[in-house]
Chains A and B, each alone.
Chain A
């Protein structure tokens, strides 16, 4: 039983880690606490539905469609909403992302209807049995792809020149401008990446459950994950995601299914009171 719970916890946690990573990229680049990240997950699920069921694209093309479309959405959001509000107090920007999530939700519901849509992909459906742990292929694929994306992002961030410029921008805004970095373009890339990572998470969550606006609550678990892991820390986001996944599954199995969210939010409260900068973060406290 324990092994089973641990497995699903780690698998789901990998997806949460991916979404949390996207969140952190956005936060590091533009200092925006993106409450709409949950809706980006939903967006991903619906983009997948569109590509596969409505447009009938073959799976690899559908993935490409998902990545490009979500990156575009992220970039457009940055141009229209985030750039104009740069320099405004953090409260305003938080409200903006909350309002954005409202708008996204209503657009999605108007386009696809408020009920969920099933998402069917050619990913294998069977189960791999190891000892007394049943590992569904879907979970395995979700975890694998999440880790692959994280690795790709890590390599991009570390080894490419755009990644270097993004790291520089996160390090110091004015310093980057002075060095000739097009900071607005870098932030746009960050938003595109953040949205895409969430959308990929939505692809898997949508298939593990169903593509519906309710996925937002699951996507929002990235927020406590990021805080627990440490807000501006990339490894923190990933580990936070894994922790949240494991804790969620443990609570669901050993306490009750309804309690899983609460346990996480209680943990969030504890962390905020005891060690607000999270496990891997640095001590600078929140601004507003």
Chain B
């Protein structure tokens, strides 16, 4: 049977799932693909439960991702709980506390990266030079201007999100009548020669498509039917609940390390989302962590499939890999998955080239994001409990060893192609966790030390001045929303 390895055009796509990955994928396909491609959304109940593992931060890249789909920032803010985010404040993390802020590149002076001058001047704190971190500390926000002379222009922002609400937003952004909805339960997936041939529903209906997109969450119903086996690193549980705003919320997510794992608070537009992540197998955890009534609860394996595209099936988001929501990585990877699918959406049923390239990029993205996460657990002052032991027991990729060694040796950033986290992300993380370069770039010594000192103190003052003139996040958000409503009327 040579059904699928032919030159026939892809005409029908089925996306399965009911959560964020499916909602975002359906929205993206519906808004970007020509109408002659028929889209069916198979909504299988229950697949959204693990969505809290996408966490509460969306990276700066979200802005462009949305824009390419024709979704503007005002539409996002008016249509969802999303609010502005300067990053995450980590507390009690291996004995350290810092703001992992989103940040544009720091100044390069005389060809030398900024942080070398800090080392030269024996300055151990990076944060006073990060405008987004200083603003975050004060709870202040304003859109960064483009004018490079303005201190705020080096700030970068993403969004705080509630993954459940954010998914519903994407669902509402699906053009009306563009997608056929099929709700139900899957009774059987017929596989032939490495491809999905038919999806049978329990009510007897059959869905046949050229391409099957798996957005079904950690269960990966499509991908696993093709025999692709998930490789789990460890298991984690989480619950998410909401509380009303107190009015004093900042512009960062606050994440606090605990013996059982961590807890984060994320201010959204009308409430604060609290996410608790823990090891479900920790002895006595049930007594420690009471699951509040009405909270969303999930338990998932952290890990991924070796490939995300098999035969005529592509997995997106958690169906491909599940990442701890410690940073914006789960959303970074989800966005990359959807972008990658859009750029490699096969024209014909012969999709071997597309799947190879997709899997290559997928492997690189998940591997590189994994480096960033693993670096969070490198240190000495972590609790000796099962959550931390399991996290720290994960192997260290040679790429991460090179990154850590070069930074600690000489403040050099070792980079790989198209990494999901930038040089600034790594620098802020390293400083935050107390890593400092053993040497600095000698060329920094060319500059007059007094002038460097003056420059640095001038930069701090500029940032402080700039931040003191910024409105607090709550006011800015309220004014911005009022402005948007006025525009609508």
Do A and B pair up? The answer is no
What is B's interface to A at a CB cutoff of 8 Å? none
What is A's interface to B at a CB cutoff of 8 Å? none
